[in-house]
Structure formats: structure tokens, C-alpha cells
Amino acid sequence: MRSKALGLSPIAILGLAALGVPRVIAHDLRLVGPAVNALLVFLPIAVWLAVVLRKRVPNPFLTLLAIGTAYGVLLGLTHQVLWSASFGDNQPSLGGNLAGALSPATEAVLLRTFAFGSSLLTGVGVGAATGAVGWLLSRLIPAARR
């Protein structure tokens, strides 16, 4: 079922957002070099734009913001799942005046919470930037207009 405001179904939104997950896995596990990483960064965004423009959604900015937000959630969840594999024995810790001030469990919760929030903000930012480009392209490309 399509959302009228977004022009895509929730499953389509989630599926498009999930295209960014391989890059997160490859990055966290250090599986690829810079060239492949760049491809994994920009190819999903190009697909997001192509789908949104092809489907002629009512509001490309809003739709791409929704995809970016879903991507941010998936980004945060994937980082959490791969946390130990990513950091190994070199787990992050608070420094400065906060070093050792909190119990290890409290510190871990705090760091993971901020990491998740950062991932969510990253997704929203990517969605907003891509949405702005999508909105502009939808105005410049006559076939993309409704």
C-alpha cells in the first residue's frame, strides 16, 4: 500500500534505505578499500533519486527525507550489532574529566546511545541533502513533474 504523502509504500522506503546497509557492514568490518567504499556510498543514493524521480512522487524532498531517516535507523542498528567486531579489544571510552567517572556499563550505554543518535542524524542529513537535489531535479526535468 502506497503512502499518499510519500508516493511509495513503507516497504519500498525501507527497501531503498536498506541499500545503504552493505556500506555500513563493509566499513565497520574494514572489508573494502576507498574506491569500493565510495561506490557503496553513492550508488544507493543515486538509486534513491532515480526511483523517486521515476515514480514521480508528490514531494521528492519528503520522500527522500523518509528514506534517509529509515537509512539512519538501519545505520544505527547495524553499527550496534557490529560494535564489538568493529572495535575489538579497543572499545571506545570517555576521556578527559569523564575518564573513569562512570561505571563501564553506564559508559558503554552512553557511548552507544550517542553513536546511534549520530547515525540517525547522519541518515536524516543524507535524506535532506538528497531530498533537496531530488526536489530541484523534479523541477528541472519535465518528465519528473507530476
Q: What is the pLDDT of residues 32-69, one digit of tens each?
A: 999 999 999 999 999 999 999 999 999 999 999 999 99
Task: Please tell me whether the overall predicted TM-score, pTM, comes out greater than 0.85 for this model.
Answer: yes
In three-state secondary structure terms, 57 is coil
1-14, pLDDT tens digit by residue? 667 889 999 999 99
Residue 107, number of CB atoms within 10 A of its CB: 18
φ/ψ (deg, to 5) at 67? -65, -45
Residue 141 contacts residue 53 (beta carbons within 8 Å): yes
Instruction: Name 93's Cβ contacts closer than 8 Å, sequence gap at least 6.
Output: 99, 107, 111
